Structure 1
Amino acid sequence: MAVVGVMVLAGCSGSGSDTATSGAPARQDSGEAAGNAKPQEPAAGKSESAGGDSRDEPTITRAIIKTGSLTVEGENVSDLRQKAVTAITSLNGQVASEDTGSNSDGTITRSNLVLKVPTKSFETAIQRLSDLGKRLQIHQESSDVTEQVVDVASRIQSQRASLDRMRALMAKANTIGEIVNVESELTRREADLESLLAKQKNLALQTELATLTLTLTEKGKPPVKTEEEPDKGFVAGLKSGWNAFTAAFSAIATAVGALLPFLILLAIIAVPLWRFRHKLRRQPAMQPTMPPPAPNSGQ
């Protein structure tokens, strides 16, 4: 094989030298080069036309998450609620959650609805709901998550290719140690893939269905306040820490209050005993009395 390679290289170098030394082949090469340059112009034109043809270039659909809130006032809140549900259902939407209240007579006086509607019908839903009564407040937000969607899709593709490679290594593993190592890595990468798939599904749900919070209130009554958004960042951490501190202090105070009567009773009994025991330790032990010496009879 090496001899064949040397012979091929020698033949190529020889043909190249012949082409360089002869004038006619040189003109032929220049003509071929010119001929090769001409088809590049249509190729460039094709690439330019491809800019207007979406079939030649991959198109990226923008992924938008839309949210909003709407407050509508009317004479009959119950009637407004029924019409709102009908309007959302006609747009292939649904009621995600509901908070409805009534007075002592059972008449509905307020209603808070969290609605899920297809993103493409978001503006239509706002318009139809606004026509139910007097619109008091409206708020809309849009968040572009196209980059996240593309990134997750790319990572899923790479993770699946990685899993295929790990399965191939699993088939070639011979020793128990190799099988254990490859299986452990395979399990970890499968878990990562499941996490990415869950994230992709969540993004798809958020982009396909917009969230609209509808507040229905009775005419002449103040609007029902919706739940405030939870704090984030430093403020949230500070509040959580303060709540934990107050809860711990309250628990300690409760425990001390419950034990205090027993501690007082124990002190009443233990203190006198301690003093009496201490007093006994301080008294010197009585020395045994020796009998007087017997008189000496020899004297």
Structure 2
Amino acid sequence: MLFAASLVLTGCGAGASSDSAERADSKAGARADGAAADADRGAVDGSAAGADEEAADGSSGAGKPGARVPAPQHVIRTASLSVEVADVTKALATARRVTAGAGGRVENETTERVDDAYVTSQVVLRVPQERYDSVLAELAGTGKLIARKADAKDVTDQVVDVESRIATQRASVARVRALMQRAERLADVVTLEGELSRRQADLESLLAQQASLKDRTTLATITLELMERAKPSAEPKEGRPGFGDALSGGWNALVGAVAWIGIVLAALAPWLAVALVVFVVWRRLLRPRLAARAARRPAPVPVPRGEGDAAAGERNAAGVTRAAGPAEAPEK
């Protein structure tokens, strides 16, 4: 029985060894086909593609023969605007009012003050597709347009594919549920429950994709950035300086000079410290030693003035005698 159930799940018919098993399999196949047909009809009725096809068939039968209504397009529209305004708060209130009037909503907002000078704000808006162009034009007119970017992506094929897979998956889930109602053995019930859980999870994933596509194709996304104009700085008034200004300027100059002197002294402090150490070493160690060495050196003996002159006369006389001796020799 478990083997037969697995074959029915994969779409292949299987026969049993007995006539009663064959009759049971044929009845099960008929019930499964009926449940699949009901599920397919329910899926087609619930899907947008099936509804469009039925509407096209009905209109072709009532109107001109052979005429078909073209399938609707599914487009994802996104845009980003950068606008410079005089007051961000007022411009933001205007953007909210325009969005609410178009039937949209504010999805995200970030407002901050930069350097206490001006305010910037970034807001994400979701508006219906049919009001996309008008809302975009009104938002761009709130101030000076700095930048604008728009994008449109056609996802019609993806939407149709997801809807077709949902219809097929619903029919598959209906078949498994029909087999579970006829299952008699516990092993068959456990196998069918696991298969049903897997197919149900796939169906829920497809439904989530369909909901996401429907949301993005129904509502367009607009990212609006608002920034304030830079305010001009106040120019100082020209005029004669007063007594207070002169006093303040002199005091500031004095404080600046003292500060610079302190900076110079701080820079010279290491050099002054080394010079002080060298002076102390010279004064305490080197100078006393030099003085002691000079004291131990013998002083020269003084010569009397008269004795010095006599000795000099004797030296001179001896020199004259030695000089005249050779000159008198030829006379002899």
Deviation by residue 1:81-138 (Cα, 9 ceiling, x = unmatched): 1111111111111111111012576x86111111111111111111001111111111
- In the alignment, does 2:85 pair up with 1:85? no
Partner of residue 112, structure 2:
101
SS at match of 1:62: coil
- In the alignment, does 2:144 pair up with 1:134? yes
What pairs with 1:143-222 in structure 2 (closer than 5 Å)? 143-220=153-230
Unaligned runs of 5+ in 2: 1-59, 232-332
Which of 119, 125, 137 is the matching residue for 1:115? 125
Give TM-score, length-normalised by structure 1: 0.54
**Paired amino acid for 2:179:** L
Higher-Rg structure is 2
In structure 2, relative to structure 1, the CA distance for the partners of 1:144 and 1:50 (3 Å cut) is: farther
Q: Greater share of helix residues, 1 or 2?
A: 2
Unaligned runs of 5+ in 1: 1-44, 222-299
Give TM-score, length-normalised by structure 2: 0.49
SS at match of 1:213: strand
SS at match of 2:142: coil
CA offset at residue 52 of structure 1? Answer: 3.6
Deviation by residue 1:165-196 (Cα, 9 ceiling, x = unmatched): 11111111121111111111011111111111
**Paired amino acid for 1:216:** L
**Paired amino acid for 1:70:** L
What pairs with 1:1-299 in structure 2 (closer than 5 Å)? 49-52=64-67, 54=69, 59-102=70-113, 109-220=119-230
Q: Percent identity?
A: 40
Deviation by residue 1:204-240 (Cα, 9 ceiling, x = unmatched): 011111111001111248xxxxxxxxxxxxxxxxxxx
Task: State the distance in 1 between where 2:104 and 2:160 align.
Answer: 26
SS at match of 1:99: strand
Task: State the distance in 1 between where 2:68 and 2:156 align.
Answer: 22
CA offset at residue 139 of structure 1? Answer: 0.3
Task: State the distance in 1 between where 2:65 and 2:76 align.
Answer: 30
**Paired amino acid for 1:208:** T
Is the contact made by 1:100 and 1:108 (CA closer than 8 Å) also made in structure 2? no
Task: State the distance in 2 between where 1:111 and 1:164 align.
Answer: 51
Task: State the distance in 2 between where 1:76 and 1:159 align.
Answer: 54
Is the contact made by 1:110 and 1:217 (CA closer than 8 Å) also made in structure 2? yes
**Paired amino acid for 2:127:** V
SS at match of 2:93: helix
Deviation by residue 1:246-298 (Cα, 9 ceiling, x = unmatched): xxxxxxxxxxxxxxxxxxxxxxxxxxxxxxxxxxxxxxxxxxxxxxxxxxxxx
- State the aligned residue count: 172
Is the contact made by 2:129 and 2:217 (CA closer than 8 Å) also made in structure 1? yes
Alpha-carbon RMSD:
2.3
**Paired amino acid for 1:214:** L
Deviation by residue 1:139-176 (Cα, 9 ceiling, x = unmatched): 00011111111111111111111111111111111211
